[in-house]
Structure 1
Amino acid sequence: MEIEIVGQDEYGSAAYSKLFDEIMSDLNKAVLIDRVRLTLNPEGPLFIFSIVLKAAPGPKTVGDVSTVRNDVGGAHVTITEERYAPDILQELFRKYGRQAVVQQTRFDLDVKDAREEEVSAIVVSSGEEDRREIMGALWRTMPEGIKNRKTFMSGGVITVVATEEVLLPEMIDAGRKEHVAMGGSADV
């Protein structure tokens, strides 16, 4: 994750870069982020946080987050992304019934009378949860006292304009320009 800080305070900029990186890493969101530009103007007060994701969050299927293969009597699933385990179980129970899903280990499942192709295609996440989690992580990195925010999202770019005061049109325009500079759409 590449972090660029735009601000006048060298010490504050370095500290904020480290803080942002630590928070995103602690929340397991750093792996989703390609680039970050944080504009810090505490005198304004105006803060613009813009991130470019490695990939735009989209629907995830069982096949995206696990390895699925045909096996004797059904399909075998090995979950490779732990965070989706509860969703995978829930969707398999819903589609095939609890009695047809046998959990061998924490991450290994057998699904009776199922085929690899159909199990792999089951959607387990819409992508909205990823966006919400990234937004929550982004807000946690902002200074305390932030009362007003405007968010721009397009494709894989998320930009948040924030202030402790009234969010003025020129602040929103600055955020929109930053959003476009990071690769986001101008019509957000």
Structure 2
Amino acid sequence: MYIESNDPEGAKVYDMIIRQIFQDLVLPPSIDDMKAYVNPNEVCFIIAIKMRKTSQHITLKEVANVDYNAEDDTTVVIIDNENYLPNILKRLWEINGRENVHQPSRYVIHLPGEKNVSDLVVDDPHENLKRRIYDAVFRIVPEGFKIMKDMSEGDIVCIVATDELIKDEWVEKAKGYMVELNTPKTWD
């Protein structure tokens, strides 16, 4: 973790704030590295965070059996792993509408008609982690810095924030941080 600033005391304070927010959100095990730039004179804040690799997403067919009952013209989903039940319901509601998802019992869901939902992603650890990191970033960004540019790519969440117009030099600095975070470390 590296914080660049023209104000050494301010950098120490930001280091403490970032560490505390990461601890509160239980993020340290999920983060490989982080770089930040704080410059009160230019009213600029940049943060780039490299996420650790996560497990693969989970599809419906991995946690449930999906069959079409032609007699009733109903797709029947039988849940094998109830840990994913809230996610399954949420995703099915998003796609089919809440009124078209019927749950006659805890582990059984009926959908009208023949639905191809076996490959539906019901849990994506990468997106879940990214959401938690964005939550942390929005807590870390200084109050009043409402103008933000999201430069995130792949496993890196990167934000440039200010209360003025974003300067090209800040965008270039953020790009530099992203390159550094993506460059494997070599030990001499």
TM-score when normalising by structure 2:
0.64
Alignment of 1:20-169 (within 5 A): 20-55=18-53, 59-61=57-59, 76-77=80-81, 79=83, 86-90=86-90, 97-99=102-104, 101-102=105-106, 110=107, 122-125=120-123, 128=127, 130-169=129-168
Q: What is the distance in 2 between the residues matched to 1:33 and 1:63?
A: 30
What is the alpha-carbon distance in structure 2 between the residues aligned to residue 147 and residue 58 of structure 1? 34
Counterparts in 2 of 1:56 and 1:154: CA distance versus 1, 3 Å: farther
Structure 2, unaligned runs of 5 or more: 66-77, 110-116, 184-188
SS in 2 for 1:145: coil
Give the conservation status (yes or no) of the 8 Å contact 1:57–1:128. no
SS in 1 for 2:20: helix
CA displacement at 1:39 relative to structure 2: 1.4
Q: Is the 8 A contact 2:79 2:85 kept in 1?
A: no
- Name the residue aligned to 1:15: 13
Q: Note closer, same or farther for the CA distance 1:120–1:9 as it changes in structure 2 (3 Å cut).
A: farther
Q: Which amino acid aligns with 1:27?
A: L
Distance apart, 1:92 and its partner CA: 7.6
Would you say 1:173 and 2:172 are equivalent positions? yes
Measure the CA separation in 2 of the matches of 1:57 and 1:166: 38
For residues 63 and 45 of structure 1, the distance between their equivalents in structure 2, rounded to whole angstroms, comes to 50
> What CA distance in whole angstroms lies between the structure 1 residues aligned with 2:92 and 2:2?
43
Residue type of the partner of 1:53?
M
Residue identity opposite 1:10 in structure 2: P
| Counterparts of 1:156 and 1:166, CA distance in 2 | 27
Where 1:24 maps in the other structure, the secondary structure is helix
Structure 1, unpaired ranges of 5+: 103-109, 113-118
Opposite residue 178 of structure 1, the aligned amino acid is: Y
Partner SS for 1:153: coil
Q: What is the CA–CA distance in structure 2 between the aligned matches of 1:157 and 1:13, rounded to whole Å?
A: 22
* Other-structure match for 1:106: none
**Cα deviation, residue 156, structure 1:** 0.4
Inter-CA distance 26–121: structure 2 relative to 1 (3 Å threshold): farther
Shift of 1:50: 0.5
Given residue 167 of structure 1, which amino acid in structure 2 is its aligned partner? I
1:9-62 deviation line (CA, Å, top 9, x unaligned): 333222212211222332344443221111111112221100000126974446
Structure possessing the higher radius of gyration over alpha carbons: 2
